A and B are shown apart, each in its own frame.
Chain A
Amino acid sequence: MHAAHSSEAHLAHHFPGVKAQFEAGKLGMWIFLATEILLFGGLFCAYAVYRANHPEIFIYAHRYLDNLLGGINTAVLIFSSFTMALAVRAAQLGRQKALQRLLSATIACGFVFLGIKYVEYEHKWKEGLLWGKRFKPVHEEKAAPREVPPPKALTWVNPEERSTLAPPADPPAGLAVRPAEAHGEHIVPQNVQLFFSVYFVMTGLHGIHVVAGMIVLSWILLRARLGEFSAAYFTPVDLAGLYWHLVDLIWIYLFPLLYLIH
C-alpha cells in the first residue's frame, strides 16, 4: 500500500518533500477532528450532568424516540463509512469509476440519513415534543412508547408558578430536584422538555455536520470527475474520509445515549 499520496506536481514550495506534505495534511486533519470531538464533548458533558441529576426525565422521555428509525440511521451511517473507506481504497488504486461510484454511494447514504431524521423531526413537531420553551405536547394515541401503556396527556407545567411553601430546612445543594407529579398510574416528571432540548441540540448539531460532510464529499466527487486524483495523489479523498468517519462515530455514541436508555 505504498503508493505515494502525492506527485511532484502537487508539492507546495514550502515543503521539503511530498512525504512531509502528506504527513502534514494528515496531522492537520487529525487535529481538526480533535477539535470536533471537543465541540461535541461539551454537549456530551451537558447530557451527563442532566442525566445524572434527573434520570427520571431521560427514562421517561426517551421512549418517545423511535428506536427503529434510529437503528436504521445507525446502520446507514456505518454502511456509508464502509463505502467511504472503499472509496479511499479505490482512489489509492487509481480506479476512477469505482471512486466516483463509492463517493456517490456515501453521499446517497447521507441523504437517506437526513431523510429519516426529517421524518423523526416532523413527528416530534406534530406531537409538540420540542425543546425548552416550545415543548407543548399534544395528546396522541399513536405516540405510545413501546412496552408501556400509553401515558395520559402530559400536562403543561406552568414554569412561572412559584411555590408557596417555605423552603425546606435543609435544602439540597446543587440543582434543586423538584418532585415528580403523580398522574394516575404514570409519573410524569417535571421538566420533561429538558430531554428534548438535549436531543435536538445534539442531533441538530450532528445533522449540520452531516450536511457539511456531504458538501465536502460532493466537492471531492466533482474533483474526481475532473480527473484530479490518481494513485499518486489522493490526499483530499483520504482527509475527507477521515472527517466522514468522525461524523459516523459521533452518531454511534449519540444513538445509544439518546435512544437506548433503559
Chain B
Amino acid sequence: MSVPLGNALAADNYLNHEKGWRSWLFTLDHKRIGVMYLVSILASFLLGGIFALLIRMELWTPGRTIMDAHTYNQMFTLHGAAMIFLFIIPGIPAALGNFVLPLMLGAKDVAFPRLNLLSYYLWVVGALLALVSIVTGAVDTGWTFYTPYSTTTNTSVISMTLGAFILGFSSIFTGLNFIVSIHKLRPPSMTWFKMPLFLWGLYGTAIIQILATPVLGITLLLLIAERALGVGIFDPALGGDPVLFQHFFWFYSHPAVYIMILPAMGVISELVATFSHRHIFGYRFIAMSSIAIAVISFLVWGHHMFVSGQSNLASLIFSILTFLVAIPSAVKVFNWIATMYKGEVELATPMLYALSFLFLFGIGGLTGLFLGALATDVHLTDTYFVVAHFHYTMFGGTAIAFFGGLFYWWPKSTGKLYKEAWARLGAFLIFIGFNTTFLAQFLMGAQGMPRRYYNYLPEFAPYHKVSTLGAFILAVGFLIAAATLVHSLFAGEPAPANPWGAATLEWQTTSPPPHDNFPTQPEPGDPYEVDKWVYDPAARGYVLVPAAASAGRA
C-alpha cells in the first residue's frame, strides 16, 4: 500500500503536473506560488544588493567617489526600501512558508488558495510601482519617509509609497491565510504543541502582519494625501505634527522587524534539531516565546524616538519593554545550543547557516542592549552603530536563516541535490564578508559617525574602506551560493524524499512533491522524533525505521 517515496522528477510532480506559462500564472497550487515568490524575492535581493554595493563604493572615499550627494541619498533610500519591502518582509513566509506550511500540516493547500495567488499579484504590482518610482526620479527620503522632508522633497515619493501600500496588502493577506490555515487545516492529532516550530514562527509573524501592517497602510495613505492634496496633518505650518508621523510609522515598523525575525527563528529551530539529530530542547518555551515576542513587539516602538521629542516617562516605559522583548529571543538561542548537546552534529550547508545565525544574531541582539538603554542610545542613535545593529539582526539573522532554509528545502522543492563543497564555500565567504562589512561600523558609530552621510570626516576613512571591502567579499559569497543552486537545477543528483533525516511531515512525501502534496496521507507524530529515521544508503537518504513505519500507518 505504501507508495515508494524518493525522487519524483521522472514521475508526475507539481512542477510538471501542468505545463505552460498560463498554468503558472493562474495556478492555485501553493507550491508553485511559493516558487514564483522565491524567484521574485531573490531578484529583489539582487537589486537591493546592487544598491548596497553602489553605496559602499561611494563611501570608499570621503566626498564624491562615483556619484553626487543627491544620487547617494537615492541609493540608500532604494536599498532600504527594496530590501525591506520587497525582500525581507515577504521573505521567509512568502518564499519558503508558502511552500512548506501546508506540507508541514499534512494538508493539501493553504486555506485560501485564490487569496494566496492574489497576494502574489499584489506583490508584483507593488514591486512594479516601486520600479516606476525608481525610474521616474526615485526617492531620497530614507526608507523611513520622515516628514516634513518626505512631504516637501521633489522625488517620486507617491509612487514608492503607493507601492509599499500595495505590498502591505500582499503581506496582510499572506498572514491572514496562514492564521486560518494553522487554525483550520491541522489534522486532528496535531495539537498546538505538536506543531513544528517553523509553524509557530509563521503564526506569530502572521499575527503581527495582520495587526501592524494596516497602521503602515494608513500612515502611507496620509503621506500620499499630504503630498498630493496638501492635507496638512504632518505639516507644522498648517498646525500638524511631524513627530506624529514617526509614532505612526514606527508603530508598524518596529513589529515589522519581528515579522522579519520570527520566521527566521522558526527556520533555525528546524535546522538545529535536524542537523543535531536531536529533539529540539525546550519546545514549549520556544513556541510560547514566539507569541510573547509577537505581543510585546507592539509595545516598544518609541525606542526609535528617544531623542525625537517624547516625554521621559514614555521613554522609560519603552526602554523597559524593549529589554523585556529581548528575553524570549535569548531563551531561544540558549535552547538551540542546548539542542546540540549530546547530539550528532552534521555540518551540512544548512547547519553552517544556522551556526552563522547564532553568531551573527547573537551580536545583533546584544548590541540592541546598548540601544535599549536610554543614556547610551542618546549617543548611539542615528549613527553607524544602529546601522550595524540592524544589519546584524536583519541580514545576519533573517537573510542568513532564509538562505539556510533555502538550502534545506531545496532538495524537497526541486528534487535536486546541490554540490555540498561549493555551497559550504559560499556560506563561509558570506560569514567572513558579513563580519568584515559590519563589525567596523559598530566602532565608527560609537565614535560618532552619523548615518546616511554622503561625505565624512577623514578620520573615519579606514573603517569605511574595511567595510567596503567586506561588502565585495559578501557579494562573492552570495554569487557562489546562487551559482551552486542554479547549477543543481541542471546537473544536480536526484534528491531522496528525506536527505536530512528530519521528522516533520514535508519529508514524508516525494522530492519534489506531487501536485496534491502527499501520495498517501502521512500520520503526524512528534515533529522532532528524529530517531524514527535512519540513513539508508540504498535510498541515499533517510527512511522510517520499519517498526515506526508500520506503526505510523496502522
Query: Which residues of A are in contact with B by a Cβ distance under 8 Å?
Result: 12-16, 20, 23-24, 27-28, 31-32, 34-36, 38-43, 45-46, 49-50, 54, 57, 131-134, 159-160, 173-175, 190-191, 193-194, 197-198, 200-201, 205
Name the distance in Å between A5's Cβ and chain B's nearest Cβ.
14
Q: A134 — which chain B residues lie within 8 A by C-beta?
A: 229-230
User: Do B218 and A43 touch across chains, with their CB atoms under 8 A apart?
Assistant: yes
A to B CB contacts below 8 Å, 30 in the list: A15-B185, A24-B180, A27-B180, A28-B112, A28-B180, A31-B176, A31-B210, A35-B172, A35-B210, A35-B213, A39-B217, A46-B233, A49-B241, A50-B241, A132-B226, A132-B229, A132-B235, A133-B229, A133-B231, A133-B238, A159-B237, A159-B238, A160-B237, A173-B311, A191-B239, A193-B238, A194-B232, A194-B239, A197-B233, A201-B233
Interchain pairs with CB closer than 8 A, number: 131
Interface bracket on B: 35 or more
User: Do B222 and A201 touch across chains, with their CB atoms under 8 A apart?
Assistant: yes
Which of B102, B172, B222, B226 is A14 in contact with, Cβ under 8 Å? B102
Given A174-B309, A193-B238, does the pair A40, B213 have CB atoms closer than 8 Å? no
**A-contacting residues, B269-319, CB 8 Å:** 309, 311
Name the distance in Å between A207's Cβ and chain B's nearest Cβ.
14
**A-contacting residues, B238-263, CB 8 Å:** 238-241, 244, 248, 251
Q: A13 — which chain B residues lie within 8 A by C-beta?
A: 108-109, 516
**Top 10 A-B pairs, shortest CB-CB distance:** A132-B232, A191-B239, A133-B230, A42-B218, A14-B108, A14-B109, A38-B214, A159-B237, A39-B214, A194-B239
Q: How far is the CA of A243 from the CA of B222 in the complex (A)?
A: 23
Q: A173 — which chain B residues lie within 8 A by C-beta?
A: 309, 311
User: Do B111 and A24 touch across chains, with their CB atoms under 8 A apart?
Assistant: yes
Given A131-B229, A197-B232, does the pair A34, B210 have CB atoms closer than 8 Å? yes
Q: B179 — which chain A residues lie within 8 A by C-beta?
A: 27, 31
Which of A14, A49, A54 is B113 in contact with, Cβ under 8 Å? A14
Name the distance in Å between B221's Cβ and chain A's nearest Cβ.
7
Q: B113 — which chain A residues lie within 8 A by C-beta?
A: 12, 14
B40 contacts partner chain A, Cβ-Cβ < 8 Å? no
Name the distance in Å between B165's Cβ and chain A's nearest Cβ.
11
Q: How far is the CA of A50 from the CA of B248 in the complex (A)?
A: 14
Q: A23 — which chain B residues lie within 8 A by C-beta?
A: 184
B219 contacts partner chain A, Cβ-Cβ < 8 Å? yes
User: Do A27 and B184 touch across chains, with their CB atoms under 8 A apart?
Assistant: yes
Given A24-B184, A35-B213, does the pair A193, B176 have CB atoms closer than 8 Å? no
Q: How far is the CA of A27 from the CA of B221 in the complex (A)?
A: 27
B225 contacts partner chain A, Cβ-Cβ < 8 Å? yes
Which of A39, A40, A54, A131 is B230 in contact with, Cβ under 8 Å? A131
User: Do B108 and A198 touch across chains, with their CB atoms under 8 A apart?
Assistant: no
User: Do B231 and A197 touch across chains, with their CB atoms under 8 A apart?
Assistant: yes
Which of A12, A41, A49, A175 is B215 in contact with, Cβ under 8 Å? A41
